[in-house]
Amino acid sequence: MPNIKIFVSDDVNESGLEPLRSAGFEVEKRTGLKGEELSEAVGGCDGLIVRSETKVTAQLLEAAGRLRVIGRAGVGVDNIDVAAATQRGVVVMNAPDGNTMTTAEHTLALLLALARRVPRGDASLKAGRWERKKFVGTELRGKTLGVVGLGRIGRVVASRARGFEMRVVAFDPFVAPEHVRDAEIELAPLEEVCARADFLTVHTPLTPETRGIVGAKEFARMKPGVYVINCARGGLVDERALHAAIKEGRVAGAALDVFEEEPPPADHPLLALEEVIATPHLGASTKEAQEGVAVIVAEQMRDFFLTGAVRGAVNAPAVGAKELEALAPYLWLAERLGRFQAQLIDEPVRGVEIEYAGEAAGLDASPVTRSFLAGLLRNMSARVNVVNALVIAEERGITVTVSQRHGAAGEIREPVRTRVRAVAGEHTVAGALFGQRSDGRITEIDGFRIEAIPAGNMLVTRSSDVPGVIGRVGTILGNHGVNISRFHLGRRERGGEAMAVVEADAPLDEATLEELRSFGPVISARRIVLE
């Protein structure tokens, strides 16, 4: 395996990087780099590990020609241009479970601090005052906690809140009521959650759809005296609207661990309010979490380079090591079928249809489909791979249709059948696995029954089914120094049209192809190269 170099640009836990070093990878860690200095450092690396400080922009990705995977030691990937990474075929991984408990606990710490006015009481006492009556708090028991977003962290927060005997009402359009009924969580529309909450906490990713999800309209629906907590991402809560709601007395207090701009400016209006508790993005800042997310992303990156397993990816289907072992023969076969199809067609591709049958119909077909498209489109873009194949297909207006066909084992001859439509026509190529599932072969081309190994140098001819064609083709190849290793012939009916697939020891040059095409019975002769 070639030398793999990983660059770590943020303060990632050192012991968490050990899986990469143990695998023999070169790991370089330099933090605080910006601009050209960062681009130069990442330029010769295969992997990049970041936290939230490094901004992985399209420009940085452009400079990182070798980069194959980015690992985010944490959950949020809003500091990474995922679309640009996908376009360039770079896998983006995160560690979604690594800091779940830590962030949930920090949310609860701020919840309690707000309810019992802990920071202000602490500051008052340390200033020499004893003001017990000034800092009367409120109990959590019997209060309603509104949770916006019921992902991993949101659910843990809701569970712990139930331990305080709080009622929990939540908004999450992607969660079915029956999935949270046993957890005693009530689902409701966002406006109802805002209206009923005594405490409101936000736990969604930051996307264009969720930016400002708690804004002026939501604050207007809240009951006076509500408390707001954000330990997820800056920008989810509209900071100007929050400031206004506090000043007018509708919001009694807020606890913020994240800000739209980090670090926030010293004159940030919210930092000047006594009703606001602020911490410097400490949600994931525990020893356990920092080591945990580093280990998770390091192990994911190690396995990606060593075995091809994809785990924790936000822009590619997850494929574990065991699943990859089962899929590997199909991935190889699909990629070869795609490359074979690409060399049958001279016109722009308009559509792709892939049918999975038999055992293949019971597998997760998404990685196999991507593998076929990566083979088909590899000559259209220098960066095409399984990560960006669907994106490139969409950009080029290529429709992709996937179907499944179930039947008895004896009825299924081709587990993978592909059809590629171009402007002037279409081609179908099917394939199957033989032996110990590792022997992949082409079994049909455009309706001709052919059994050929999709590898090496190949010649595909269509000709009239008349005597002397096979001999003449062999003679032409021999005259040009091309040795035949295998010869496969298929025909639909006697005396009609025949197809031959020749496996050769060396590539065919244009002179050889031209002589073949000039032989009267030959309708077409096409060179196929599958390294």
What are the tens digits of pLDDT across the range 89-119?
Answer: 899 999 877 888 999 999 999 999 999 999 9
Amino acid letter, 127 = A
Please give the pLDDT value at position 410. 53
Mean pLDDT of all residues in 207-227: 94
Q: What percent of the chain shows pLDDT beyond 90?
A: 72
Query: 458: part of which helix (H) or strand (E)?
Result: strand 456-464
pLDDT per position as a tens digit, 127-179: 999 999 999 999 999 999 999 999 889 999 999 999 999 999 999 987 878 77
Smallest CA-to-CA distance from 319 within 43, 516, 86, 91 is with: 91
Adjacent-strand bridge partners of 48 = 7, 70
- Residues whose CB is less than 8 angstroms from the CB of residue 446 and which lie 6 or more positions away in sequence, other chains included: 427, 428, 429, 499
Q: How far apart are CA 153 and CA 144, in angstroms?
A: 18
Domains of the chain by residue range: 5-98+288-307, 100-278, 319-449, 455-531
Please give the pLDDT value at position 490. 92
Query: β-pairing, 456-464 with 91-94?
Result: unpaired
Please pick, among 62, 262, 325, 395, the residue that the annotation labels catalytic.
262
Amino acid letter, 28 = E
**SS3 sequence, 212-264?**
CCECHHHHHHCCCCEEEEECCCCCCECHHHHHHHHHCCCEEEEEECCCCCCCC
| Cβ(384)–Cβ(349) below 8 Å | no
Please give the pLDDT value at position 139. 97
pLDDT per position as a tens digit, 451-472: 999 999 999 999 999 999 999 9
Q: What is the pTM of this model?
A: 0.68
Please give the pLDDT value at position 524. 94
Please pick, among 233, 336, 339, 378, the residue that the annotation labels catalytic.
233
Cis peptide before 19 (omega within 30 of 0): no
Please give the pLDDT value at position 348. 84
> What sign does the CA torsion over 359, 363, 369, 371 have?
negative
| Cβ(464)–Cβ(470) below 8 Å | no
The larger pLDDT score, comparing residue 58 to residue 151, is at 58
Mean pLDDT of all residues in 404-425: 78
Please give the pLDDT value at position 311. 87
Does residue 206 sit in helix, strand or coil? coil
**SS3 sequence, 309-331?**
CECCECCCCCECHHHHHHHHHHH
Please pick, among 120, 221, 281, 421, the residue that the annotation labels catalytic.
281
Does residue 481 sit in helix, strand or coil? coil
Which class is domain 319-449? alpha beta
The larger pLDDT score, comparing residue 249 to residue 408, is at 249
Which pLDDT band, with edges at 50, 70 and 90, does 1 fall under? low
| Cβ(519)–Cβ(472) below 8 Å | yes
Phi/psi for 447 (5° steps) reads 90, -5
Please give the pLDDT value at position 58. 94
Query: β-pairing, 426-434 with 439-445?
Result: antiparallel
- Residues whose CB is less than 8 angstroms from the CB of residue 104 and which lie 6 or more positions away in sequence, other chains included: 153, 156, 157, 160
| Cβ(286)–Cβ(262) below 8 Å | no
Mean pLDDT of all residues in 429-451: 86
Q: How far apart are CA 128 and CA 85, in angstroms?
A: 55
What CA dihedral angle connects 71, 76, 79 and 83, to 10 degrees?
80
In the predicted model, is pLDDT for residue 70 greater than 70? yes
Please give the pLDDT value at position 436. 55
Please give the pLDDT value at position 356. 93
In the predicted model, is pLDDT for residue 407 greater than 70? no
The larger pLDDT score, comparing residue 513 to residue 434, is at 513
Q: How far apart are CA 32 and CA 43, in angstroms?
A: 16
Q: Which CATH superfamily is domain 5-98+288-307 in?
A: NAD(P)-binding Rossmann-like Domain (3.40.50.720)
Identical fold, 100-278 and 319-449: no
Mean pLDDT of all residues in 270-286: 95
281 catalytic, yes or no?
Answer: yes
Please give the pLDDT value at position 64. 93
Please give the pLDDT value at position 414. 77
In the predicted model, is pLDDT for residue 243 greater than 60? yes
Mean pLDDT of all residues in 365-388: 83
Mean pLDDT of all residues in 251-260: 97
In the predicted model, is pLDDT for residue 52 greater than 60? yes
- Residues whose CB is less than 8 angstroms from the CB of residue 137 and which lie 6 or more positions away in sequence, other chains included: 115, 116, 117
Which pLDDT band, with edges at 50, 70 and 90, does 317 fall under? confident
Smallest CA-to-CA distance from 114 within 144, 135, 100 is with: 135
Phi/psi for 415 (5° steps) reads -70, -25
Please give the pLDDT value at position 395. 77
CATH of domain 455-531: 3.30.70.260
Mean pLDDT of all residues in 384-390: 83
Mean pLDDT of all residues in 335-354: 91
Q: Which CATH superfamily is domain 100-278 in?
A: NAD(P)-binding Rossmann-like Domain (3.40.50.720)
Q: What percent of the chain shows pLDDT beyond 70?
A: 97
